Amino acid sequence: MNNGISLDDLGLFFLVAEKGSFLRASAYSQVSHVTLQRRISALERQFGKKLFIRTTTGVIKTEFALQLMLDVRNQYSAIKKSLTHVNVNSKEEGLGGSVIKILASAGMSYFFLEQLYPKIQKKNEVQISITTYTAKLLELNADRMKSFIDEYDCIFIEGDCQHIISQSHWSILSARSGAFQFYATEEYLKKHGQVDVPEDLERHNCLILNSDSSAYIEVFEEMKNKGEQEKHLVHLKGSVTSDVIEHLMLLTCHGMGVGLLPDFYVNSSLNTPLIRVLPNFHAQQYQVYCLRNTSSNCASMNVFAQQFREILKEITY
């Protein structure tokens, strides 16, 4: 390799090659498109060889670029292996573990920070870094999220967003599934009346997730001895919506209406117990996964994973 070629420039080369375009690499790295072009051109002059063939839709790697990618990947793998060894040794010597990087939906971030993290800290002091997304953000930026998803050690994600996890090195740390059900405080029901049939919801303030702008909601009734469900279409009046489940639960606890909440999340650590109304009815199904990056080099992840499972079971089962 020629003298004067920096690791930073090789890293940018590898990023452009991996992303397939300067634009995608720029969005991922926050390095300007012009700067990327200039530094790749400088690399090509230093090597005396062409790295990419520019097209209107991206870049095509030359044979030399393919070989360089392999060399760079091998070198970086060796560096990562060395750093992992240093990280593990540092932990054993009492110098502290590494930061666990978590990607979570806004609602699961609240759930994790309020109900899981304090208990994890009591068992073992660990550093957590959380990046939060909302359903709308994911919908608008799915491609961009795919490009940096592997930077995280752990991901909390709803089932309908699983399409952003395409790599094979993610394993399920825990999974929960169920249905959104209806809850209210005793005081609210005394003041505004009982909810005995789905149609009663039409005269109550309904607190629901901001999944769409429809004024109607599908409610399903479990049919006895049939294994079937009957669907009711209920008109909602004065509904309050949010992208964050935690907000809906707090509003419900404060007696602001009938909350549509996932069953595993309710009453796990509330000072104000909620009463389930319409016990034979539910709304849409949900799935929540916690995924672990099995290629992660985070030294604290094994301990975190074990404690996470134990605490989640205590809270939600």
pLDDT at res. 189: 94
| Domains (range + CATH), the chain | 7-74 (1.10.10.10), 90-175+287-316 (3.40.190.10), 178-286 (3.40.190.290)
Token duo for residue 128: 């957590």
Q: What mean pLDDT comes out for the span 18-47?
A: 83
Give the model's pLDDT for residue 30.
Answer: 73
In terms of average pLDDT, the best of 61-70, 98-107, 186-195 is 186-195
Query: What is the per-residue pLDDT across 150-190, written as a single tens digit (0 to 9) for each?
Result: 888 998 887 666 667 766 788 888 888 888 899 999 999 99
Given a contact cutoff of 8 angstroms between Cβ atoms, the answer to whether 26 and 145 are in contact is no
Quote the CA–CA distance of 69 and 196 in Å, as a whole number. Answer: 65
Burial of 71 (0-12, 13-18, 19+ CB in 10 A): exposed
Cβ(316)–Cβ(191) below 8 Å:
no
The answer to whether 46 and 4 have CB atoms below 8 angstroms apart is: yes
Is 91's pLDDT higher than 60? no
80-89, 114-123, 210-219 — most confident range: 114-123
- What are the structure tokens assigned to 247, written together? 């907000």
User: In this structure, which amino acid lies at residue 149?
Assistant: I
Beta strands in 185-307 (DSSP E): 205-209, 216-222, 229-235, 237-242, 258-262, 275-277, 281-282, 285-293
Mean pLDDT of 295-310: 83
pLDDT category at 193 given cuts 50, 70, 90 is very high
Confidence of residue 268 (pLDDT cuts 50, 70, 90): low
Which pLDDT tens digit goes with each residue over 275-301? Answer: 899 988 888 887 888 888 888 888 788
Token look-up 């009492």 returns 94
Mean pLDDT to the nearest integer, 35-64 = 86
Mean per-residue pLDDT over the chain, rounded: 78
Q: Among 48-57, 146-155, 264-273, 281-290, which is the least confidently predicted range?
A: 264-273
The share of the chain scoring above pLDDT 90, in percent, equals 6
